[in-house]
Structure 1
Amino acid sequence: MHRISFLCVLLLLPACGEKGKTPAAAPAKTEVIAHETELLGLTLTPQAVQRLGIATITVGTGRTGMIRETSGEIVVPNGSGGVPTGSLSNLAQIGAAQATADGEVARTRAQARLARIALDRASQLVAEEAGSVRARDEAAAALATAQAQAHVALEQRRLLGPSVATLGRQSTLWVRASVSGTDVTAISRLAPASVRALGGTDAGQPARPVQAPPSANAAAGTIDLYYAIDNRDHRWRVGQRVAVQLPMGRMQQGLTVPASAVVRDIYGGEWVYAQTAPNHYVRQRVEIASTGTDGVILARGLEPGMRVVTTGAMELFGTEFGVAH
């Protein structure tokens, strides 16, 4: 009898333990959030559309020239084949070398003038039969030597570039763009590049390709390309960092929209505002396949025939998120 009671107690103990145990917490919690298809639609009054300057365009297929955007530096050109002067150059050292070269040019030119006077005197004495032909020939050789020295001094001075004092007054400057060695052959060296200030929203200023002494960075594996840019308005400064759009030698076809139609959020997402009805706009995500000279090529996100906002997209973006413009 006691044995049967003991077995019943053992059977009841696990049941009592399971009854008092607290259930384990779930490892994750899920909740419903808004989907990209449930974005806010913006309906503007005709007065608001006019005030914001909203303009739209119909999406269609097209071709655009491919470009490669990279960074560049404004440098001083050197017309005689020297290395252009950039912001990393030691201007004090260059200025001292230029002063020494200027003095050498003046000295050799003075020697050439003296040698010319000596030759004229020797030639006159020979003509009057008062001097020797040998003295005249020696004077002619001395003149040729002095002229050669003056030419060498002048070329050495040209290699040092414009005077340091005139670096900020150059009417034409060069842009040095570093390109990966694997991409150099894809860059068209016959078409102009486009240069704009970092952070600028303008279309950029054209810059024509120029031939310059070869320069490269072996550690980074890049090769320097040079372009000449007009600086008569003194817009650019030596050492200024700029954005350079280099033309590629090929075209790409697809759905195209102007670059002004694309807005980016803080996470780098790319969006456009599609017009779904008169004065009604919805933000729609797109994926850019490539950027061209006339706009951007889209990989997905839009269909041909849709209308997107080209002017005023940033204003709509601010209106949607409550940022004043």
Structure 2
Amino acid sequence: MNGSWRGLDRAHLVLLRELADRGSVSAVARATDRTPSAVSQQLKVIQRQVGAELVQRSGRGVRLTDAGRALADGAVSVLTAWAEAEAAWLAYRTEASGRVRIAFFHSASELLLPGLLDRLRAFPQIALEFGDEDVGQTEFAPLTRDYDIVVAHRSDQRRTARGGLRVVQLLREPMDVAVPLDHRMAGRRSVAPADVIDEDWIAPPEGFPIDRVLTAIAGQTGATPRVLLRTTHLPLMERLVAGGHGIALLPRYTTRDRSAGRFALVPLRDERAARYLGALARPDRAARQAVRVVLEELTAVAEAVADPAEEG
């Protein structure tokens, strides 16, 4: 069967990219606002055009063949170059405009979103569409299928693979031990893991960056932390600490303004206690003019929030 990939248009490449990322015709149909039968028909058109089998039946669905995977991987480079060229032309002709879909987890939106909105007043043609996505650190990358930018976090102890994505590092936020004001450690300049491991803990769900720091403390001391409650809601954690119900690891920049008069934040020594915040994006979406602007302004906000003496 003869054919050529040169006859493929942008829509064909997008379809292959989505199938590679989402793994099923029905998921691609939902993402591209088509019916499954329309997606299947387009896949047949693409196969006839290139003269090769790109998908095979697999159970009740389909999967990409080696040829299909190769073409889908190549589509990423083509779509990225296309977006970069389009962005360069638009920058020459017009100001940045368009919709940008951005996902934050809760404490990141509290830390960064107000400043981002302030800075984007200079770009009235950019419309932000927000999503709240508080997930474990290995679950952020798949969200880039549905968002242009995903603000994610990871702990010092773990670096998560971001295959095929652009990653913009935003900031390193130290984790402090939050204790009640009348606690024996409230006035200390710092504490060691051995000083705190036997306390009652308020912690996030397992797999979240803050919990990974607590797990590292446990590994260093050889003791199992006594966790009374797990929650992703930082204000609840703060309130429970202030009420004397336990101690917690809390992100410094996010929490410090609310700690005064309520609870003490004590730095943790002898342990890599921090979380890293970053922005994830598909490279072709990151190349869009409006997305570029949002990423640049988000980076500027993060730089203003962080203390340079604490970075690294």
Q: Pick 1 or 2: higher relative contact order, CA cutoff 8 A, min separation 6.
A: 1
Question: Is the TM-score greater than 0.5?
Answer: no
Q: Which has the larger radius of gyration?
A: 1
Which TM-score applies when normalising by structure 1?
0.21
TM-score between the two structures when normalised by the length of structure 2: 0.22
Normalized per residue, the structure richer in helix is 2
More strand by share: 1
